[in-house]
Amino acid sequence: MKYFIYVSLLGLISSSIFLSSDNYKKEEQNNSKRILQLDDYICCEGQWIYLHGCKSWISRNEVAIFDSAYIEKGQHSVELQA
C-alpha cells in the first residue's frame, strides 16, 4: 500500500514539473517584435528609444520598460522585443 502511495505521489510531482516547464516554454514563444520606421526628424542625432507600458494593476503610476535600443544618427529602422 505504501508503495502505491509513493508511486502515485512521484507521478503527481513529476507531471506538475513537466506541465510547469511546458508553460514556461509557451511564454517564451509569445514574444512579439516591433519594428519602428523612423523619419529624418528623429534620426538627426543618436538617441535611446524605449518600448514601455503602464502597469496599472501593480500600482497606479508604475511604468514598465519592456525593451530599449540605441539608434545611431541616420538609422531609420529599429527592432524592439515585447
23 or 29: which carries more pLDDT confidence? 29
Mean pLDDT, range 15-23, rounded to an integer:
53
Sign of CA dihedral 36, 42, 44, 50: negative
Domain ranges of the chain: 1-30, 32-82
Cβ neighbours of residue 75 under 8 Å, at least 6 residues apart? 38, 43
Stated as kind and residue range, the H or E segment containing 10 is helix 2-29
Residue 73 has pLDDT above 70, yes or no: yes
Q: What's the DSSP call for residue 45?
A: S
Does the pTM surpass 0.95? The reply is no
Identity of the residue numbered 65:
I
